[in-house]
Amino acid sequence: MTQDAEGDVALILVHAEPWSADGHDGTRLREKLNNDATYALDGQLVDTYPEASGARVRIQVDSVEEPTGDVAELLATARRGLAKHSIDLTTKIITL
């Protein structure tokens, strides 16, 4: 968990390898997104970090390459679902 100067909270998932074509990465990513969403929505985030109370929450997926195919579709679907709960989902390309 990180909190920026505006008080927004980011839960960051890091994928440090190219996305696989076999669907395995999508399955793991779905599980991680569900875990982070549950953590934020069920109040565990605020229980652990009281300073996050009232903060905007985003889940950020950092990866070494742009998500494509099934992973990109998963992220788009998750983004729409999370938005209904006022949680943003962003992606960021990183270099290691």
**pLDDT 10s digits, 43-87:** 999 999 999 999 999 999 999 999 999 999 999 999 999 999 999
Q: How many domains does the chain have?
A: 1
Q: pLDDT grade, residue 96 (50/70/90)?
A: confident
Kindly state the average pLDDT of the residues 1-15: 95
pLDDT of residue 22: 87
CA nearest to 19, candidates 60, 79, 61, 67: 67
Question: pLDDT at position 56, please?
Answer: 97
φ/ψ of residue 91, rounded to 5 = -125, 155
Q: Alpha-carbon distance 84 to 96, whole Å? A: 33
* Confidence (pTM): 0.93
> What local confidence, expressed as pLDDT, does residue 54 receive?
96
Instruction: Name the helix (H) or strand (E) containing 86.
Output: none
Report d(CA 59, CA 35) in Å as an integer. 11
Range of the domain at 64: 2-93
**Percent composition of the chain: helix, strand, coil (DSSP 3-state, to 5):** 45, 25, 35
Tallying the residues shown for the chain, one arrives at 96
